[in-house]
Amino acid sequence: MLSTNGRGNQSTIDDVFPEQKFLLGRGADRYLVIQVHPCVPWTFWGRDVSNTAYPGREIVEQSLGTVAKYGRHLNVPINYGEFGVGRESDQSARDTAGVREFYRTVVRTVLAEGMSGAAWDNRSWFRLVVRNADRDDEFDHDIMPPMLASDRRDVRLGAVR
């Protein structure tokens, strides 16, 4: 698994790997994967930034689709690792329909484009699961259910039917 510069930022994929010949083994290894992070935009999904910076579902889809197309150009699969929305000092800021939409959009687009991905749960400011007082695990801010839903019709962002 290869990664790009800038903490795995997807926007550097074409700079780091401008052609297949720049890949490990010149891209001939069938087990080769390029791993990137969807930093679109960092001002939304970063540490203590603002939900108002969410660019919307269409922009996220377009951004991920561009990377998928580039992966096809290189003939190498793409993995989106560490995607998520973090709020270090105010976790309640993650409890919004826009945050849930971001996660769901990334998952749906990654799968639709034939890529793989992994939501980032650092058990801190990017957590998806939290242990309650009874020592049971619960979904934090109901972010996971919309990501896991199989069809848009069975989810309202914010609550699973």
Question: 10-residue block means of pLDDT along the chain (161 residues)?
Answer: 84 92 90 86 80 92 94 95 88 92 93 93 90 84 84 42 29
The topology (CATH level 3) of 2-160 is TIM Barrel (3.20.20)
pLDDT of residue 81: 85
pLDDT of residue 155: 40
pLDDT of residue 150: 60
pLDDT of residue 136: 82
157: Cβ contacts below 8 Å, ≥ 6 apart: 97, 100, 101, 104, 146
How long a stretch of residues is the chain? Answer: 161
CA atoms within 13 A on the CB side of 53: 15
Cβ-contact 64, 104 below 8 angstroms: no
